[in-house]
Amino acid sequence: MLWRCLLLLLLIVGGVNCNANSNHTIDYEESTLRILDVATQRMRSIWEMRKRIFLQLTSKGKSPLGGQAPSKQEVEMETYRLVYELAANLSVVPVEQLRDLKLRRRVQRLAKLQLQGLRPEQYEQSKDLLRAMQNFISGSLVCTHEDCSARRPTAMYPQLYNQNMRTKRYEDLSFNWYSWRSAINDKDTARSTFIDYVRLLRIAATYNGHVTPSRTWYLYYDTENFQAEMESVIWEIMPLYRELHAYLRHSAIQAYPKADFKDDGAISAPVLDQMLSQAWYPHQIFPSPFPKDQLPSVHHRLEEVLVTPVKINKKAAEFFESLGLNKMTEGFYERYSRRMNDDEGGPDCKSQVYYFPPEVALRYCPKLDYKKMMQIHGTMAELQYNIYKKELAFGLDTEPCPGFGSALGETAVLASGTARHLQRLHILISDSLTEGQSLNRLLRMGVHTLLAVPQYFINDKFLVDVMDGRIGVNEYNCAYWRLQDKYAGVQPPIWRSEKDFDMDYKFYRGMNPDTSNTRKFISEILGFQFYRSFCLASGQYKPGDSMYPLHNCDFNNSTEAGNLIREMMQLGATRHWRDIMQIATGERRLSGRGVLEYFAPLFTWLKERNMQLDIEPGWDADELCRKE
């Protein structure tokens, strides 16, 4: 064959793409498809297992399909075996030889793995370490009293978290802050668990041929130096963050006059944690911009109007139907939408979406409140996403990058919390808030979002910089505090050293790729970018027109917004996430624009207020961490 090619080359000079392998190409494509078909069959049987679990969970113990349903662990092991073998089989496929671009993408996505690329013993070890780190958060490990035998130890989440949210004493905050950290890092446990885990992440990266381990951590973002892109968003929103930070710091000094904060502009870490937890707490330590303009209480009306969780679900489903997306059928409500038991779901009680094509299913939290009402809108978005992407080939039937789906969900959450939407639901009488109420609400949203985003970034950057070796093993703790200083203006409450390991509980939660801080960051930032685009498309947001501010847009009934959502959802992972986000936003990069435009009225108010109070935004804090 080669000689024929050469001959062709000699005969027809120029213009002919003479590829010696062009016929291998066909073979490659065929054999690749065969591998993928076998894998798809195996995936179907895993979906079948998941379906049995769902049915068993929702039929009071009896398995309607007969026999015992498999356990979650079995499903997880099967999935691991499948993706592990498949990646090995696909790793020999010469990807550049595949002409079918979708096939090429499928192979690329399935041939490289994160933790699941580890060999079985190592994979088991990584899961043990993740469990250990989860136990730092939810295990009863902390003695909050001198005598631990007298009272059961407490867990960080939810007990200490709730105590911290409610307390009005700074001593409690700093005591809890300190106690949890010493409890989990007793005998260097927290730190060494983290070190072991990072070692496995590095090994997973070498299996992918990645010299820089973070390439594997950021695998699906498929971008050189993805961290730089996230960092640029942090700097973009920094002017707004600094104003909010200054206002909150001032509030903290008022709230804790005896705390003796340093005069350096930084916020003490336990106070920042408390404020974050108080975003929707009625007795928060930071004052509302307009204390007399209380937000209308929705709880009572919500119970009257929505009556049952089922009714909330239907209303949320109607929201998506009004955009022209899938209609949830009666069959779905009868068979695949089930209520969780009251003792399930834990303190957060998050509804769960199940994916076992051709069906998708929902298990919803039976609670009935404002927050659940908003959350279920996010859950319904996920359900819609699953309905669209189940049409795609196995391997491409996912979001294009982690956090993309929850970013879409975030837009529905934002929409459902607006006065405009609450009025449509007959919960509020008016479809807008007064100016004072709007600012009160924006401040709470700001605490919820703007304080959290730099923390996601710091947690993610710390992990990645350690992984890539930019932070050395004998400078972990002080390096962490330098990041807190640089990006968030946050300081430890007391002197710290390298004997300590001070990351917060969200850091550990983010060690799991499924709940990573990267993912959280993307879903917030991209969420606001999408929200802005849908609101522009619906005509409910008109920049510069105070009658149509971004923060009161619900894009309900907007087929323009619906078309954008559908088009993105239908693509699954068939294209690069930048191509897909461009459909809605016209942009190919993460940007802080959505956040900045959403919070524009708050930014203006904060600047004026800080000026009145003679507060200088920014910080210049001394380092409170030394090596020793």
Ligand X SMILES: *[C@@H]1O[C@H](CO)[C@@H](O)[C@H](O)[C@H]1NC(C)=O
Q: Smallest gap, in angstroms, from Cβ of residue 93 to ligand X?
A: 11
Which residues from 469-508 bind ligand X, rule CB under 6 A?
none
Q: Which stretch binds ligand X (CB under 6 A): 172-180, 202-210, 314-322, 383-391?
A: 314-322
Alpha-carbon gap, residue 159 to 182, rounded angstroms:
17
Binds ligand X by CB under 6 A, chosen from 78, 85, 229, 468 = 85
**Smallest distance, ligand X to C-beta of residue 446, A:** 26
Stretch that binds ligand X, among 31-39, 131-139, 466-474, 540-548 (CB under 6 A): 31-39
Residue 79 binding ligand X, by CB under 6 A:
no
Our CB check for ligand X shows the closer of 455 and 538 to be 538
In the bound complex, what is the minimum distance in angstroms from residue 497's beta carbon to ligand X? 49
1 binds ligand X (CB under 6 A): yes
Min dist. Cβ of residue 499 to ligand X (A):
47
Q: Which of 247-283 are b and which e, b meaning 16 or more Cβ less than 10 Å from the residue's Cβ?
A: bbbbbbbebbeebebeeebbbbbbbbbbbbbbbeeee
Q: Does 140 bind ligand X (CB under 6 A)?
A: no
Q: Does 319 bind ligand X (CB under 6 A)?
A: yes
SS3 state of residue 148 = coil
DSSP track, 574-590: SS-HHHHHHHHHS-SS-
Among 33, 38, 276, 305, binds ligand X (CB under 6 A): 38
Of the listed pieces 55-63, 280-288, 318-326, 607-615, which binds ligand X according to CB under 6 A?
A: 318-326
Per CB under 6 A, 425 contacts ligand X: yes
**Which position has the token pair 């005998």?**
187
Answer yes or no: are the C-beta atoms of 380 and 314 closer than 8 Å. Answer: no
Rounded CA gap, 126 and 92, in Å?
26
Q: Is 537 in the site for ligand X (CB under 6 A)?
A: no
Specify the residue, 79 or 557, whose C-beta has the smaller distance to ligand X: 557
Name the pairing type of β-strands 359-364 and 352-356.
antiparallel
**In terms of CB distance, is 116 or 212 closer to ligand X?**
116
Is residue 7 a contact point for ligand X (CB under 6 A)?
no
CB neighbour list of residue 77: distance below 8 Å, 6 or more residues apart: none
Give the strand pairing for 140-142 and 154-155. antiparallel
23 lies in the site for ligand X, by CB under 6 A = yes
Radius of gyration in angstroms for the set of CA atoms belonging to the chain, rounded to a whole number:
26
Nearer to ligand X by Cβ, of 7 and 473: the residue is 7
- In sequence order, the 6+-apart residues with CB closer than 8 A to the CB of 547 are none
- What residue type is assigned to position 29 of the chain? E
Asked if residue 29 binds ligand X (CB under 6 A), the reply is no
Min separation Cβ 511 and ligand X, Å: 28
Instruction: Give me the least distance between CB of 128 and ligand X, in Å please.
Output: 25
By beta carbon distance, the residue nearest ligand X is 424
Q: Which stretch binds ligand X (CB under 6 A): 35-43, 287-295, 534-542, 572-580?
A: 35-43
Cβ nearer to ligand X, comparing 421 with 444: 421
Taking the C-alpha atoms of residue 160 and residue 270, their distance in angstroms, rounded to an integer, is 12
Which residue from 86, 113, 165, 204 is in contact with ligand X, where contact means CB under 6 A?
Answer: 86
- Give 73's Cβ-side CA count (13 Å radius): 3
- How far the first Cα of the chain sits from its last, in Å, is 70
Nearer to ligand X, 4 or 627 (CB): 4
Q: Does residue 368 touch ligand X according to CB under 6 A?
A: no
Give the number of residues in contact with ligand X, rule: CB under 6 A.
19
Helices and strands (H and E) in the chain: how many: 26, 9
Q: Which two tokens stand for residue 80?
A: 């691991």
Q: Tell the smallest beta-carbon distance from residue 78 to ligand X (Å).
A: 11
What is the SS3 assignment for 441? helix
Binds ligand X by CB under 6 A, chosen from 144, 277, 322, 432:
322
User: Contact, 107 vs 121, CB < 8 A?
Assistant: no
C-beta of residue 505 within 8 angstroms of C-beta of residue 156: yes
45 is a site residue for ligand X (CB under 6 A): no
**SS3 of residue 359 by DSSP:** strand
What is the number of alpha carbons within 13 Å of residue 310 lying toward its C-beta? 8
> What φ, ψ does residue 620 adopt, rounded to 5°?
-145, 75
Nearer to ligand X, 35 or 310 (CB): 35
Among the listed residues 589, 541, 533, the one whose alpha carbon sits nearest the alpha carbon of residue 236? 589
Of 63 and 557, CB closest to ligand X? 557
Taking CB under 6 A as the binding criterion, the range among 204-212, 257-265, 316-324, 611-619 that sits at the site for ligand X is: 316-324
Query: Rounded to an integer, what distance in angstroms lies between the CA atom of residue 82 and that of residue 87?
Result: 8
Q: Structure tokens of 256? A: 């804790």
Question: Which of residues 58, 63, 89, 167 is near ligand X by CB under 6 A?
Answer: 89
The correct pick among 24, 29, 33, 35 for binding ligand X (CB under 6 A) is 35
Cβ distance to ligand X smaller for residue 451 or 537: 537
- 512-527 in b/e form (b: 16+ CB < 10 A) is bbeebbbbbbbbbbbb
Query: Binder to ligand X among 424, 444, 496, 520 (CB under 6 A)?
Result: 424
Residues 550-579 that bind ligand X (CB under 6 A): 556-557, 559
CA angle 617/621/622 to nearest 5° reads 165
Say whether residue 312 binds ligand X (CB under 6 A): no
Which residues are near ligand X by CB under 6 A? 1, 22-23, 35, 38-39, 82, 85-86, 89, 315, 318-319, 322, 424-425, 556-557, 559
